[in-house]
Amino acid sequence: MAVVAAERSRAASRLPAAIKDAAGTALLALGLAVPILALRIDQNINNEPILRPRWDYVAIAVAVAFLGRLAWLLIRPSRAGAAAAKPQGASGGLAALSAWLSRAFATTGVILLVLYPLLALSLAGWAGAIKWIDNFGIQILIYVMLGWGLNIVVGLAGLLDLGYVAFYAVGAYSTALLVHNFGFGFWLCLPLAGIFAALWGILLGFPVLRLRGDYLAIVTLAFGEIIRLVLINWVPLTNGYAGISGIARPSFFGLPFNASDQGFAAFFGLEFTPLHRTIFLFYVILALALVTNWATLRLRRLPIGRAWEALREDEIACRSLGINTTNTKLTAFAIGAAFGGFAGSFFAARQGFISPESFTFMESAIIVAIVVLGGMGSQIGVAIAAIVMIGGTELLRELDWLKQIFGADFDPTQYRMLVFGLAMVLLMIWRPRGLIATRQPSIFLRERRAVRADLVKEGHG
């Protein structure tokens, strides 16, 4: 009780300073809210713009900022004290438990994913399942795969690549162009797309070998934009904004998914439904994502993967041990890019149509956000982050009931970025190194103990 009383008296003594600080925050909120919220231009029935003042909105925003900041300032110190009182570091038994838990989680996750289409079918029926398998399942798995691919470059090798979507685009466009110009099938395009993307990865790698940190990030960002602008402007090859349509869909060992007599449904004596293809695509991307994961986990235990991590930790020490850092960086770029290319190839075949609109910087930002939120270098963390970020976006479409509260013209998907931003800020306060920040050693003598996040370097590029 004495502690609580002391805590309370300390809170009381902090009050004037906290109010002052919160007032500053409120002022900042006012400055931001006036241009954003204060005035809204609507159109009346004659299409004339009318100005609608919304000072009540501004007042609410300022009040929320003030009270939120005040509450934060008054609550935070006691929480910091509690955190300091907690014993530091996990004991060996706890680490073993967490390792076991993560293995169990991974196994259950894979089993659930394999059963997912059947679950969706039985729960949502043949009509409703397509949304759950396509919009949720396939969409999330594409981003899981992209996240895992980028994890090699950013998480393992510590090279911050903000233009990863370029390799996704290279994969997608090489598939589209090979199908369009040479009539190749998807299964031939898939490996070729990966190879082309890897070549582009090396091509990007060469000029940025000497760059580090912010400079590397800026050049890779520019590289992503160059690829997109070339796709837009090289109209004779890429058809510009109009994009490329009619990309061959994947076949099931030569059986196309159509209503013809040679189709998949007819061959197996099933009634034709487009859902067959969707389920098949789900398993294709699941297999691709699992291959990415398997390859990454395996590479981490090979000299090349250890060299990537050593490069992230200390490049000069690497060179003093005879590691060719040029080759090490280029392989990281190439292998990361190859997985992006595979994902791009799958994306093209799934959509049947691609245009440069799909490969904007926003996509790169989302993939980087997935890797950073998940915890750089952590496979499970990246998968969880992809599920939350992409699944969350899709879930916002499902929140129609909110219209009953906020009115008929309320569209939850419009608030997607706001929710993202908020989630990211909160996560960075709560877990600055991502969801799963500890590092699992690639080899051990007696027991595998996770390495604390604060020891693991983030790389300097």
Partner 1 sequence: MSADPVLAVEHLTMRFGGLVAIDDVSFSAPRGQITAIIGPNGAGKTTVFNCITGFYKPSSGRLLLSLGSSPAAEELHTLTESGGRSRATAAGSIFLLERMPDYEIAARAKVARTFQNIRLFPGMTVLENLIVAQHNPLMQASGFTVLGLLGADSYRAAEREAVERAKYWLEKTELADRADDPAGDLPYGAQRRLEIARAMCTEPQLLCLDEPAAGLNPRETAGLTELLLSIRRSHALSILLIEHDMSLVMEISDHVVVLDYGQKIADGSPEAVRNDPRVIAAYLGVEDQEVEAVEAEIAR
87 interacts with partner 1 by CB under 8 A: no
Helix, strand, or coil (residue 398): coil
What is the C-alpha to C-alpha distance for residues 291 and 278, in angstroms, rounded to an integer?
20
**Which listed residue (249, 306, 431, 460) binds partner 1 by CB under 8 A?**
306
Residue 221 tokens read as 């960002």
Is-contact 299 336, C-beta < 8 A?
Answer: no
- Give the closest residue to 230 by CA, choosing from 362, 359, 366: 359
What is the C-alpha to C-alpha distance for residues 368 and 361, in angstroms, rounded to an integer?
11
What is the C-alpha to C-alpha distance for residues 73 and 146, in angstroms, rounded to an integer?
39
What is the C-alpha to C-alpha distance for residues 211 and 457, in angstroms, rounded to an integer?
17
321 interacts with partner 1 by CB under 8 A: yes
Region 431-450 residues binding partner 1, contact defined as CB under 8 A: 439, 441-449
98 interacts with partner 1 by CB under 8 A: no
314 interacts with partner 1 by CB under 8 A: yes
Closer residue to partner 1 in complex, CB, 131/460: 460
CA angle 448, 454, 456 (to 5 degrees): 60
322 interacts with partner 1 by CB under 8 A: yes
91 interacts with partner 1 by CB under 8 A: no
Closer residue to partner 1 in complex, CB, 199/304: 304
317 interacts with partner 1 by CB under 8 A: yes
Is-contact 116 129, C-beta < 8 A?
Answer: no
**Which listed residue (304, 365, 423, 427) binds partner 1 by CB under 8 A?**
304
Cβ 122 to partner 1, closest distance in Å? 38
Closer residue to partner 1 in complex, CB, 334/386: 334
Closer residue to partner 1 in complex, CB, 29/318: 318
What is the C-alpha to C-alpha distance for residues 387 and 140, in angstroms, rounded to an integer?
6
435 Cβ partners below 8 Å, 6+ apart? 373, 374, 375, 378, 381, 384, 385, 427
What percent helix, strand, coil does the chain show, rounded to 5? 75, 5, 20
302 interacts with partner 1 by CB under 8 A: yes
10 interacts with partner 1 by CB under 8 A: no
Is-contact 140 387, C-beta < 8 A?
Answer: yes
Q: Which stretch binds partner 1 (CB under 8 A): 103-111, 128-136, 139-147, 321-329?
A: 321-329
Binding letters toward partner 1, positions 270-299, x by CB under 8 A: -------------------------x--xx
88 interacts with partner 1 by CB under 8 A: no
Closer residue to partner 1 in complex, CB, 44/320: 320
Q: How many residues bind partner 1 (CB under 8 A)?
A: 39
Closer residue to partner 1 in complex, CB, 202/423: 202
Region 331-390 residues binding partner 1, contact defined as CB under 8 A: 331
Cβ 362 to partner 1, closest distance in Å? 31
- Helix (H) and strand (E) counts in the chain: 17, 4
Residue 434, φ and ψ in degrees, nearest 5: 95, 170
- Give the closest residue to 145 by CA, choosing from 369, 461, 359, 370: 370
The owner of tokens 């290319």 is 341
Strand partners, 42: 50
Closer residue to partner 1 in complex, CB, 405/446: 446
**Which listed residue (313, 361, 410, 427) binds partner 1 by CB under 8 A?**
313
**Which listed residue (249, 416, 452, 460) binds partner 1 by CB under 8 A?**
452
What is the C-alpha to C-alpha distance for residues 355 and 393, in angstroms, rounded to an integer?
21
Cβ 302 to partner 1, closest distance in Å? 4
Binding letters toward partner 1, positions 12-41, x by CB under 8 A: ------------------------------
What is the C-alpha to C-alpha distance for residues 122 and 124, in angstroms, rounded to an integer?
6
Cβ 305 to partner 1, closest distance in Å? 9
Closer residue to partner 1 in complex, CB, 194/224: 194
Closer residue to partner 1 in complex, CB, 277/433: 433
Cβ 284 to partner 1, closest distance in Å? 22
Report the sign of the C-alpha dihedral through residues 10, 12, 16, 20, in that order: positive
Neighbour count for residue 195 (Cβ, 10 Å): 15
* Site residues (vs partner 1, CB under 8 A): 295, 298-299, 302-304, 306-307, 309-310, 312-314, 316-325, 331, 439, 441-449, 451-452, 455-457
